[in-house]
Chains A and B, each alone.
Chain A
């Protein structure tokens, strides 16, 4: 597999989509005859994007640098599973930050994160996740005066409106 070719294919598809979508930019009445409308810049960027990605593709067939070959041995050592789990943990964090509130969602996210990366010492896991969340929350709300959501749990049990 050639790395520049994989990237160029991605950009070719992206640029083609971007170019195609540039026609969807709605122009206001009276601006049709202007030299430069909201559509002009994206239109030419799309064309340039297609052109450059095609050029990369062409060059990748003329001559391939040694470095340009995907190192499959190295790729096999990559732990994509861990990366994927962390991505899911981030999405979960985004999903819960408002409902569970800053402190609880951060504690959960950090515990997930440490466990995904195989930290085994629960004392460290709990101390760090609770410590960071609570200290950061205190810093934000008490010192910097930044409002953060309390979350539904606080609302429900303590009657605090978030």
Chain B
């Protein structure tokens, strides 16, 4: 293991890779800062750039973008109360009031220190947890993988929020259905191509991610006609104040960071739960354990209320890499896009990644730590200048985002059909966003679709066509049991609460 870590350190610390993580963190911060554009869009926009790179450098760049986007989201949450990322909504609860009180600099510094510490603690956990889980997962068979994928997809729906379970479930199914378009990998038969040669290779994941996130987010921004308000403009022009923290303030936030980072990491590891849930849970936990006097400060600029979600969301980002790197199963929309990128570089994440590509496995983990340092030393002092970019008129910025999305996909295949397909998918995505159907489960379903079908086929072949593989192995059966509980519980509770509500109405 020490050899692997050393290999990772030397790979991640090469000048080129440090440059990559710095570029990624910087670009991610900028994109994440733009309200409406989240980490998935940021990553999707960067993928075409990574195609000519060595997979380690590409993944390091993407990890930098991921962190940067979360950090950028915090910046716009604090400065203008407009979270660019769902994971930083909880940051605005106390960050924005602090900025309004003239302590924007302090709030940004706390956000940066908390993110750094959260990311660092989680990176250490990842260093320990990932190899252990990778070794365990070497004993996994197709049936276990199939069960794990079902669990992952169900968990995404289960964590989608109150009343959104079925919506997330249908979006996952939509993604799975789209994944079947093209030539069947096993038999070579074409499916849902309608005789069109352009569909023979199926729908590219980059196309779908770009259309359903970057492009549709830009279109929604245009349709909603959101403009930076005068108040927001004034907030951006204000001096951010000192970035320094007093000793007492540091003492207050240290235990908060510790607690929230651990919580964030474990929430991030869970399939389906991600930075958003982690940040809200950490905020809620901190509020519930605070003294009555402290509790009153929450929502009005509490340091604890700011440090908790910031540490948790960054720790969750690192945590979400555990199932991705060790099992090859993404737990969130963002890691699903990263998985798609990895597959397109010709790398199949999973237990063998640890043994087959140790440089990549370890360098990504190490570069997460470097990414955190870069965010702290490079981005924090630059924040006042990066924030100025938020003033760029949207009428200039949005057509550019659309251009980069279209050209990013076109340059991979040089097929104009892809541009038309992107337009179609982005229109459908805008419609689905307006009627409140979540996009992340779709991309997760799409990316897992092919793998899920292959593993099911393999498991069925091994068991000679019998469905007994579902319960014969303890591992498969236990994973499926957890899935069933997750699947049934929201349905029962939805039905139960609907009945109660109906009887109350009477």
* Chain A positions near chain B (C-beta within 8 angstroms): 3-4, 6-8, 10-11, 14-15, 18, 21, 25-28, 31, 35-38, 41-42, 45-46, 48-49, 52-53, 55-56, 59, 62-63, 65, 67-68, 70, 75, 77-80, 82-83, 86-87, 90-91, 93-95, 97-98, 106, 109-110, 113-114, 116-119, 124, 128, 132, 136, 140, 144, 146, 148
Report the bound CA distance from A54 to B436 in whole Å.
17
Most buried by B among A28, A31, A86, A132: A86
Q: Which residues of B contact A63 (CB under 8 A)?
A: 497-498, 501-502
Q: List 16 A-B contacts (CB under 8 A).
A: A3-B435, A4-B435, A7-B432, A7-B435, A7-B436, A18-B177, A26-B190, A36-B461, A42-B180, A42-B192, A78-B223, A78-B224, A90-B422, A97-B416, A113-B399, A117-B222
Contact A49 B416, beta carbon cutoff 8 Å: no
B396 CB–A CB distance under 8 Å = yes
Q: Which residues of B contact A28 (CB under 8 A)?
A: 187-189
> Are A59 and B191 also in contact (CB < 8 A) when A4-B435, A118-B395 are?
no
Contact B169 A94, beta carbon cutoff 8 Å: no
Contact A77 B192, beta carbon cutoff 8 Å: no
Nearest CB in chain A: distance from B50 CB, A: 12
What is the chain B residue whose CB lies nearest that of A46?
B177
Contact A41 B456, beta carbon cutoff 8 Å: yes
Going nearest first, the 7 A-B pairs with the smallest beta carbon separation are A113-B399, A94-B419, A35-B465, A117-B395, A38-B184, A63-B498, A3-B435
Contact A82 B223, beta carbon cutoff 8 Å: yes
Nearest CB in chain A: distance from B386 CB, A: 20
B250 CB–A CB distance under 8 Å = no
Report the bound CA distance from A86 to B427 in whole Å.
11
B494 CB–A CB distance under 8 Å = yes
Please report which residues of chain B, range 176-218, place their CB below 8 angstroms from some CB of chain A when the two chains form the complex: 176-177, 180, 184, 186-192
Report the bound CA distance from A97 to B222 in whole Å.
23
Q: Which residues of A contact B265 (CB under 8 A)?
A: none
Contact A117 B399, beta carbon cutoff 8 Å: yes
Contact A98 B416, beta carbon cutoff 8 Å: yes
Q: Which residues of A contact B184 (CB under 8 A)?
A: 38
Contact B166 A59, beta carbon cutoff 8 Å: yes
* Chain B positions near chain A (C-beta within 8 angstroms): 52, 163, 166-167, 169-170, 173-174, 176-177, 180, 184, 186-192, 219, 222-225, 393-396, 398-400, 402-403, 406-407, 410-411, 416, 419-420, 422-423, 426-427, 430-432, 434-437, 453, 456-457, 460-461, 464-465, 494, 497-498, 501-502
Q: Which residues of B contact A11 (CB under 8 A)?
A: 170, 174
Q: Which residues of B contact A14 (CB under 8 A)?
A: 174, 177
From the candidates A31, A119, A132, name the one contacting B187 in the complex (CB within 8 A).
Answer: A31
Contact A56 B167, beta carbon cutoff 8 Å: yes
> Are A36 and B398 also in contact (CB < 8 A) when A28-B187, A49-B174, A59-B498 are?
no
Contact A83 B223, beta carbon cutoff 8 Å: yes
Q: Which residues of A contact B188 (CB under 8 A)?
A: 28
Most buried by A among B186, B407, B497: B407
> Are A82 and B222 also in contact (CB < 8 A) when A52-B166, A63-B502, A65-B163 are?
yes
> Are A78 and B410 also in contact (CB < 8 A) when A42-B191, A93-B419 are?
no
Nearest CB in chain A: distance from B414 CB, A: 8
From the candidates A27, A56, A97, name the one contacting B166 in the complex (CB within 8 A).
Answer: A56
Report the bound CA distance from A68 to B188 in whole Å.
43
Contact A83 B189, beta carbon cutoff 8 Å: no
Contact A37 B187, beta carbon cutoff 8 Å: yes
Report the bound CA distance from A75 to B104 in whole Å.
34
Contact A49 B398, beta carbon cutoff 8 Å: no
Q: Which residues of B contact A35 (CB under 8 A)?
A: 460-461, 464-465
Q: Which residues of B contact A18 (CB under 8 A)?
A: 177, 192
From the candidates B177, B219, B396, B461, name the one contacting A83 in the complex (CB within 8 A).
Answer: B219
Contact A21 B166, beta carbon cutoff 8 Å: no
Nearest CB in chain B: distance from A79 CB, A: 5
Contact B403 A132, beta carbon cutoff 8 Å: yes
Contact A86 B186, beta carbon cutoff 8 Å: no
**Other than the known A25-B189, A90-B406, A90-B419, what 20 A-B pairs have Cβ atoms closer than 8 Å?**
A11-B170, A11-B174, A14-B174, A26-B189, A37-B187, A38-B186, A41-B180, A49-B170, A59-B494, A62-B498, A67-B436, A68-B163, A86-B399, A93-B406, A94-B420, A98-B416, A117-B222, A117-B394, A128-B396, A128-B400
Contact B191 A25, beta carbon cutoff 8 Å: yes
From the candidates B180, B436, B497, name the one contacting A45 in the complex (CB within 8 A).
Answer: B180
Report the bound CA distance from A35 to B462 in whole Å.
11
Report the bound CA distance from A21 to B193 in whole Å.
11
Q: Which residues of B contact A93 (CB under 8 A)?
A: 406, 419
Q: Which residues of B contact A116 (CB under 8 A)?
A: 399
> Are A4 and B167 also in contact (CB < 8 A) when A38-B184, A45-B173, A95-B416 are?
yes
Q: Which residues of A contact B224 (CB under 8 A)?
A: 77-79
Report the bound CA distance from A116 to B402 in whole Å.
13
Most buried by A among B167, B170, B402: B170
Nearest CB in chain A: distance from B281 CB, A: 22
Q: Which residues of A contact B52 (CB under 8 A)?
A: 144
Q: Which residues of B contact A27 (CB under 8 A)?
A: 187, 189
Report the bound CA distance from A44 to B283 in whole Å.
41
Contact A36 B170, beta carbon cutoff 8 Å: no
Contact A42 B177, beta carbon cutoff 8 Å: yes
Contact B163 A48, beta carbon cutoff 8 Å: no
Q: Which residues of B contact A68 (CB under 8 A)?
A: 163, 436
Nearest CB in chain B: distance from A33 CB, A: 10
> Are A38 and B225 also in contact (CB < 8 A) when A49-B174, A62-B498 are?
no
Most buried by A among B174, B176, B460: B174
> Are A45 and B177 also in contact (CB < 8 A) when A63-B498, A91-B423, A132-B403 are?
yes
What is the chain A residue whose CB lies nearest that of B185?
A38
What is the chain A residue whose CB lies nearest that of B174?
A11
From the candidates B173, B423, B426, B457, name the one contacting A48 in the complex (CB within 8 A).
Answer: B173
